[in-house]
């Protein structure tokens, strides 16, 4: 697997099981694949995407718990429903 936010701080890790099972050419392919993740900054992109997903979930839960979609105390709050749908 590859990890790290930049090329300077990234690393590629290989398990001992993988080292034992793969032929050198296969290992080269796996390492090239993982290094492409580093070159394309996939870890940083996925970190941001995951954060945005979590943030959308938190906003939705707060809206539901706070009654935003229902308009609070029985009212009809169209703006609240719109705000709740924005993360989608």
> Which residues are marked as active site?
34
Instruction: Give the DSSP per-residue string, 26-68.
Output: HHHHHHHHHHHHHHTTHHHHHHHHHHHHHHHHHHHHHHHHTTT
Instruction: Supply φ then ψ for residue 27, to 5 degrees.
Output: -65, -40
DSSP 22: S
């Amino acid at each position: 697997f590859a990890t790290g936010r930049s090329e300077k701080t990234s690393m590629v890790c290989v398990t001992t099981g993988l080292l034992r099972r793969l032929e050198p050419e296969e290992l080269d392919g796996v390492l090239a694949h993982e290094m492409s993740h580093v070159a394309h900054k996939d870890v940083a992109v996925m970190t941001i995407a995951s954060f945005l997903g979590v943030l959308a979930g938190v906003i939705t839960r707060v809206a539901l718990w706070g009654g935003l979609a229902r308009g609070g105390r029985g009212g009809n709050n169209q703006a609240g429903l719109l705000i709740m749908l924005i993360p989608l």
